[in-house]
Amino acid sequence: MFVLTADQVDSRSSADRVAAMIDALNSGPVHPVLAADRTAGDELQILVAGGADALALILHLTRTGQWSVGCGAGAVNSPLPGNIREATGDAFIAARKAVDRAKKRPTRFALETEPATPHAADGEALIDLLLALRARRSPEGWELHDILDGTDLTQADAAQRLGISPQAVSLRARAGELRTEQAALEPLARILDQLGSVKPTTPGGGS
């Protein structure tokens, strides 16, 4: 399983964004195992089961640069409580280590497993590349991304919506590396799935 811990950047000098982000995560397309909730003053956590969901949350949380995001992969103790604040397990330990490291990293993202494995560093490096690509995307590129993301719309459909030529849309897509990002999502999700494939445990070490 995967625990995402996100800590608001510069929370002392900016408005609280935790409540709004919790609402966005819990009403979004990802269906969590345990819903997002505030776990400290400027921090939230959410638990998901699959690599694709974890990656979607990583990309959502890191988009604005307003959050330090740690992803912890590992087992979660069962039975699960009704609230993430009461949940425990290796994935939570890994997420704490990850968010602490994320605060010092250029991408403000880190990935950890518990128990530790060198494959986590491999996954982190590859996700960093995608985050760096997204950080260079222009507002126009993001506008096109948001029209196409999660839909069956074509670039021609997007051109009609934007009131620009298909050629202009193609240039935006190329500059924004939209196809590069799309091609990376499934491989990255598979890497995360491999890291998070540890089965849940019961307190005391039982399975």
Give residue 199's pLDDT: 55
**What is the tens place of the pLDDT at every residue in 16-43?**
999 999 999 999 999 999 999 999 889 9
Give the pLDDT band of residue 152 (cuts 50, 70, 90): very high
| Three-state secondary structure string covering 165-192 | CHHHHHHHHHHCCHHHHHHHHHHHHHHH
Mean pLDDT of 159-187: 98
What would the DSSP string read from start to end of the chain?
A: -EEEEEEETTTTSS---HHHHHHHHHTSS---SEEEEEEETTEEEEEESSHHHHHHHHHHHHTTS-EEEEEEEE--BSS--SSGGG--SHHHHHHHHHHHHHTTSTTSEEEEEES--THHHHHHHHHHHHHHHHHT--HHHHHHHHHHTTS---HHHHHHHHTS-HHHHHHHHHHTTHHHHHHHHHHHHHHHHHHT-PPPBBTTTB-
pTM summary value: 0.92
User: What CATH architecture does domain 2-118 belong to?
Assistant: 2-Layer Sandwich (3.30)
Say what percent of the chain tops pLDDT 70: 95
Comparing CA positions, the residue from 7, 16, 185 lying closest to residue 97 is: 7
Q: What is the mean pLDDT of the chain?
A: 94
In angstroms, rounded to a whole number, what is the distance separating the alpha carbons of residues 50 and 108? 22
80-84, 104-108, 201-205: which has the minimum mean pLDDT? 201-205
Distance CA 86, CA 83 (A): 6
The domain ranges of the chain are 2-118
